[in-house]
Structure 1
Amino acid sequence: MNSVDLAFLPALEQARLIRSKEISPLELTEVYLERIGRLNPALGAYVTVMADQALADARAKTEHLVSNPDDLPPLFGVTVSVKDLNPVEGVACAYGIKAACDRIADQDDYIVSKLRQAGMVILGKTATSQLGSLPYTEPPGFPPARNPWNLDYTPGGSSGGGAAALAAGLCALSQGSDGGGSLRGPAFCCGLVGLKASRGRISFSPVGERLSGLAANGPLGRTVADTAALLDVLSGYEVGDPYWLPDPDPSFLDGLHTPLKPLRIGYVTRLDPIGEIHPVCRQAIYETVQKVEDLGHTAEEVSFPNLADLIEPFTVLWECVIAEVGVPFVVLEKMNRWLYWRAWRINSGAYLRAVAKLQRVARQIVQFCQPYDVLLMPVYMHPVIKVGAWKGLRSPKILDNVINWVAPCPPFNASGQPALAIPTGFDPNGVPVGVQLVGRPAAEATILALAAQLEQASPWSHQRPAFATDPPPTSDTTKLLIPKPG
Structure 2
Amino acid sequence: MDDLFANHDALGVAQLIKARKLGARELLDGTLAKLRTLNASLNAITDLYDGELLEKSVAAAGDGPFRGVPFVVKQLMADCAGTPTTLGSRFFARAPVAAADSAAIAAMRRAGLVIVGRTNTSEFGLAPTTEPTFRGATINPWRKDLSPGGSSGGSAAIVAARGLPMAHATDGGGSIRIPAALCGLFGLKPSRGRVSLAPMGETLAGAGAQHCVSISVRDSAALLDVISGGEPGDPYRAPPAGSFLAATARPPGRLRVAFQLKPAGGDVLDRSLVAAVEQTAKLLDELGHHVAEATPDYDAVASGAALGTIMAANTWTNIQIRANGRVPGPDDLEPVTRATAEQGRTILAHDYIRAVQVFHRTGRQLGAFFERHDVLLSPTVARPSLPLGVVRMDGSVESFQEEVAPMVAFTSVCNAAGVPAMSVPLAWTDDDVPIGGLPIGLQFVGRFGAEETLYSLAAELERARPWRNQRPARGGLA
TM over 0.5: yes
**How much is the aligned-residue C-alpha RMSD, in angstroms?**
2.0
Please say which of residues 165-174 and 38-47 is displaced more in the overlay.
Answer: 165-174
- Cα displacement (A) at 1:344: 3.0
- Cα displacement (A) at 1:169: 1.8
CA–CA distance in 2 between the matches of 1:402 and 1:133? Answer: 10
The aligned length equals 461
Q: Measured at CA, do residues 178 and 90 of structure 1 come closer, stay the same or move farther in structure 2, by a change above 3 Å?
A: same
CA–CA distance in 2 between the matches of 1:308 and 1:13? Answer: 44
Please say which of residues 322-331 and 399-408 is displaced more in the overlay.
Answer: 322-331
Q: Measured at CA, do residues 21 and 383 of structure 1 come closer, stay the same or move farther in structure 2, by a change above 3 Å?
A: same
Query: In the alignment, what sits opposite 2:473?
Result: 466
Residue 264 of structure 2 contacts residue 295 of structure 2 at CA under 8 Å; is this kept in 1?
A: no
CA–CA distance in 2 between the matches of 1:34 and 1:227? Answer: 25
- Cα displacement (A) at 1:241: 0.6
Residue 47 of structure 1 contacts residue 126 of structure 1 at CA under 8 Å; is this kept in 2?
A: yes
Residue by residue over 1:365-411, the C-alpha shift from the partner in whole angstroms, topping out at 9 and shown as x without a partner, is: 22122211111122111122111123365321111221232110111
CA–CA distance in 1 between the matches of 2:52 and 2:290? Answer: 50
Q: Measured at CA, do residues 396 and 371 of structure 1 come closer, stay the same or move farther in structure 2, by a change above 3 Å?
A: same
Query: In the alignment, what sits opposite 2:69?
Result: 78
SS in 1 for 2:167: strand
Residue by residue over 1:334-381, the C-alpha shift from the partner in whole angstroms, topping out at 9 and shown as x without a partner, is: 111121222233211111111112211221122122211111122111
TM-score between the two structures when normalised by the length of structure 2:
0.92
Residue by residue over 1:176-220, the C-alpha shift from the partner in whole angstroms, topping out at 9 and shown as x without a partner, is: 111100111110111111010011110011112231111111121
Please say which of residues 332-341 and 439-448 is displaced more in the overlay.
Answer: 332-341
Query: In the alignment, what sits opposite 1:95?
Result: 87
Query: In the alignment, what sits opposite 2:275?
Result: 283
Pick one of 163, 167, 189 that aligns with 2:156: 163
Query: In the alignment, what sits opposite 1:387?
Result: 388
TM-score between the two structures when normalised by the length of structure 1:
0.90
Consecutive unaligned residues of structure 1, counting only runs of 5 or more, are 65-71, 472-486
Q: Measured at CA, do residues 30 and 116 of structure 1 come closer, stay the same or move farther in structure 2, by a change above 3 Å?
A: same
Residue 141 of structure 2 contacts residue 476 of structure 2 at CA under 8 Å; is this kept in 1?
A: no
AA partner of residue 73 (structure 1)? G
Residue 123 of structure 2 contacts residue 132 of structure 2 at CA under 8 Å; is this kept in 1?
A: yes
The answer to whether 1:412 aligns with 2:414 is yes
CA–CA distance in 1 between the matches of 2:224 and 2:209? Answer: 12
CA–CA distance in 1 between the matches of 2:126 and 2:285? Answer: 37
SS in 2 for 1:90: coil
Residue 224 of structure 1 contacts residue 455 of structure 1 at CA under 8 Å; is this kept in 2?
A: yes
Please say which of residues 220-229 and 329-338 is displaced more in the overlay.
Answer: 329-338
- Cα displacement (A) at 1:320: 1.1
CA–CA distance in 1 between the matches of 2:247 and 2:282? Answer: 24
Pick one of 205, 219, 225 that aligns with 1:212: 205
Residue by residue over 1:302-344, the C-alpha shift from the partner in whole angstroms, topping out at 9 and shown as x without a partner, is: 1332412212212111111111112544321011112122223
AA partner of residue 89 (structure 2)? I
AA partner of residue 193 (structure 2)? G
Residue 60 of structure 2 contacts residue 109 of structure 2 at CA under 8 Å; is this kept in 1?
A: no
Pick one of 254, 258, 263 that aligns with 1:271: 263
Consecutive unaligned residues of structure 2, counting only runs of 5 or more, are none
Q: Measured at CA, do residues 132 and 91 of structure 1 come closer, stay the same or move farther in structure 2, by a change above 3 Å?
A: same
The answer to whether 1:51 aligns with 2:50 is yes
Query: In the alignment, what sits opposite 1:425?
Result: 427
Query: In the alignment, what sits opposite 2:165?
Result: 172
Query: In the alignment, what sits opposite 2:343?
Result: 342
SS in 2 for 1:275: coil
Residue 29 of structure 1 contacts residue 55 of structure 1 at CA under 8 Å; is this kept in 2?
A: no
Please say which of residues 320-329 and 212-221 is displaced more in the overlay.
Answer: 320-329
- Cα displacement (A) at 1:143: 2.1
SS in 1 for 2:372: coil
Residue 127 of structure 2 contacts residue 151 of structure 2 at CA under 8 Å; is this kept in 1?
A: yes
